[in-house]
Amino acid sequence: MVAEYVKGIMQKGIARFAKELKRPNDEVQLLISWNVEEGRPKFRKMVKDLPHQDITFNDVLGVKFDMFNRGEIVNNFITQTMQNYSEELECSKEQLFIVISLLEDSEGFDEVKLHLFKGNEKIKELQLEQLLT
């Protein structure tokens, strides 16, 4: 249930960023990395041929203020997931990145794809449920 909700947030966020920039959805990605100073995940908007831009979860949501504290809930899940993968891969959380993309499936629907990276190396594709457990 939480995974489907977050999937919708990510789909809408990427689609909204793409629309604002007049770009196709597949040219916009979100990157989640670890912010050492704040001890929490940080988000970055990546657009083909444009500089990357640090954003907040509220930017992904498309709101100025998160009255329901959704960002904090999602951050807690992501923090635990990054901790688990850092232990599994024997590295620090700062070395891990999660890239979220929208790709059109065979039926024309935008499907959320997540990939785990350790540095520049793609480790594996993740299911959203893995990020939020």
Nearest-angstrom CA–CA distance, 114 and 127: 7
Nearest-angstrom CA–CA distance, 52 and 111: 22
Q: What pLDDT does residue 3 have?
A: 66
Nearest-angstrom CA–CA distance, 117 and 18: 23
Q: Listing from the earlier edge strand, what are the strands of the sheet with 121-126?
A: 53-55, 40-47, 28-35, 96-104, 110-118, 121-126
Nearest-angstrom CA–CA distance, 47 and 51: 7
Dihedral sign for Cα atoms in the order 13, 114, 127, 95: negative
Q: What pLDDT does residue 67 have?
A: 86
Residue 31, amino acid: L
Q: Which residues of the chain have pLDDT under 50?
A: none
Q: What pLDDT does residue 117 have?
A: 96
Q: What pLDDT does residue 107 have?
A: 59
First vs last C-alpha separation in the chain: 11
Cα–Cα distance list, 68 to 58, 63, 65, 73, 76 (Å): 11, 11, 9, 9, 14
The tens digit of pLDDT for each residue in 89-110 reads: 999 999 999 999 988 765 556 7
Q: What pLDDT does residue 2 have?
A: 64
